[in-house]
Amino acid sequence: MRKRSKAILAVLLVATMVLPMMACGKKSTTDTGSDKTAEPTVTSGAESDTEDTGAEATAAPTQAGTEDPFASYPAFDMGGRTIKIAMFYDMYYDSTDTVPEDNPNVINVELAQKLIDNVRRVEEKYNVKIEYVNPGSDALVDSLNTSVVAGTPDYDVYLTQLSFALPLAVNGYFENLSDISKDYEDINNNRNIITPFEIAGTNSFFSKSGKNVAATYMVYNADTLKQLGLEDPNELYAKGEWTWEKFEELAKASNQDTDNNGVTDIYGYGGDLSLTLLEFLASNNAILVKEDGTEGLTDPKTVEVFQFLSKLYNDDKAGRPLTDDWNDNIYAWTQNKCVFAPTPMYIIQGEEINFNYRIVPWPKGPSGDGTKAGQSFNDYFVIPKGIKDADKVYQIIEEFFGGWYGNDLEARDVDMIELAESCFLDENDVDTAFKIGEMGNGDLWSVVDKNYIVNSIFSSVCVKKDMTPAQAVAANKQLFQDEIDKLLK
């Protein structure tokens, strides 16, 4: 494992967002305003069935078949129309491309040719052209807020972030997928190509189906735990004993003063604050943005999270003090400054790590059931109201996205599987990564909380120590509700 080069893996990590493996990097004539291809942020957590939050999606089945999945899709004539897909980074391959080398950074020529062949097939079947357009991040958002709101969209399909698009979806500016999809289409059957994402009462968002590694994992230094004679978290998880209480016990026992100067050099736990809060809240089944649009900040489950973190950081002294340097916090575990930490896959991929590390699902809180992980949202496609023949556009998009692999899900997922295999040292961790990727709880709080209210509660409780958890959540209740209302009303 960890056998692929960093250059190849970096390309794959970009591709985890939504689009075909090895297909990114198209040169734009416009300043994109985005560093997405330069620093991939695998933020899109799994879309999972989350009845208590109003978020619902169905993971793609894994069975493969040989029959043509598009045989039941009737051909029709689009009159040479060009369907434009707006995104805020560059993408190959579309109707403007003819050979794999049109992408100067092409790696997998065979796959690139499959994508091109599929473009030609779709063009012929529907008498249509398809073009990826990168207007730049700011211009794309402006287009959503002006042309879409006016009912005259600049583009037929948009790829965008929830924080920009959800207010428009809530107010009905995007097509409802149930209204424009047909019974025979993939979205209403196997969902091997398209996975819808229902959130906040909307059914407008969709993404490409496939195995999901977009999640935050609890990573740990397996060598250190073994040297200290401590129990292995994965063994505890297998026995159903991986709880906050057991985690706290291991974290406390992992604190080390390596030079005997009275100062802790290696902490039991450390890492990025936002990821820490995301996962501890999810592991206790705390939902900060409820289905009815009210805050869950003052819910007892939420208070329990801050009580536990106060104990971990203040009483046990097992939490590594946070610094103002994001890199120092999130990379601390890779430099052996802490034993346990939250981490996304791109951190694992990007570092040369000189010890045996493992990942494990987050420990279960006293109010948790062990089935949920924090939700880090993907970028999603939407089809705006106001475009002509939205139902036909949607059908073409399904065939454009999935026609190169058909029912061969192994071909669809092979690069993602190889990515996971290349990042982990233990083959069991590959399965764990995909499992966690399907556990997202659908909570919108990380999208809502633009002013870092939840982080400030942690600061009051665990850094300044000027409020109890109950006092801190009560003091911020209305501020947080106001943030929810801005997004959902």
**Residue spans in the chain of domains classed CATH 3.40.190.10:** 216-372+449-488
> How far is residue 193's CA from residue 190's CA, in Å, rounded to a whole number?
8
Confidence at 352, pLDDT banded by 50, 70, 90: confident
Judge contact between 380 and 205, C-beta under 8 A: yes
Neighbours of 84 (CB within 10 A): 19
Query: Which CATH entry fits the domain spanning 216-372+449-488: 3.40.190.10, 3.30.565.10, 3.40.630.30, 2.60.120.330?
Result: 3.40.190.10
| 240-255 confidence digits (pLDDT tens) | 999 999 999 999 999 9
DSSP states along 405-469? TTT-HHHHHHHHHHHHHHH-SSHHHHHHHHHHHT-B---THHHH-TT-HHHHHHIIIIIS--S-H
CA 24 to chain centre: 18
Residue 37 has pLDDT above 60, yes or no: no
Q: pLDDT tens-digit profile of 45-82?
A: 333 333 333 343 333 333 444 578 899 999 999 999 99
Whole-number Å distance between alpha carbons of 406 and 328:
44
pLDDT tens digits along 98-123: 999 999 999 999 999 999 999 999 99
pLDDT at 343: 96
DSSP summary character for residue 174:
B
Interatomic CA distance for residues 21 and 433, integer angstroms: 18
pLDDT given at position 349: 85
Q: For residue 2, what pLDDT is reported?
A: 52
What is the distance between the alpha carbons of residues 90 and 133, in angstroms, rounded to a whole number?
8
* pLDDT reported for residue 99: 97
Structure tokens that stand for 26 in this block: 């198209």
**What is the reported pLDDT for 8?**
43
pLDDT at 47: 36
- pLDDT of 288-313, one tens digit each? 999 999 999 999 999 999 999 999 99
The residue behind tokens 């430099």 is: 335
Instruction: Return the CATH fold of 6-213+377-423.
Output: D-Maltodextrin-Binding Protein; domain 2 (3.40.190)
Inter-CA distances, 22 with 19, 26, 207, 279, Å: 9, 11, 17, 30
Whether the pLDDT of residue 235 is over 90: the answer is yes
What are the pLDDT digits (tens) for 457-479?
999 999 999 999 999 999 999 99
What pLDDT score was predicted for residue 304?
Answer: 99
Tell me the per-residue pLDDT of 320-329, one tens digit each, with 9 for 90 and over: 999 999 999 9
The CA distance from 338 to 355, in Å, is 13
DSSP H or E segment with residue 130:
strand 128-133
- Kindly tell me the burial class for residue 167, based on how many C-beta atoms sit within 10 Å of its own C-beta (0-12, 13-18, 19 or more): middle
Q: Answer yes or no: pTM beyond 0.75.
A: yes
Q: How far, in Å, CA of 27 to CA of 12, rounded? A: 18
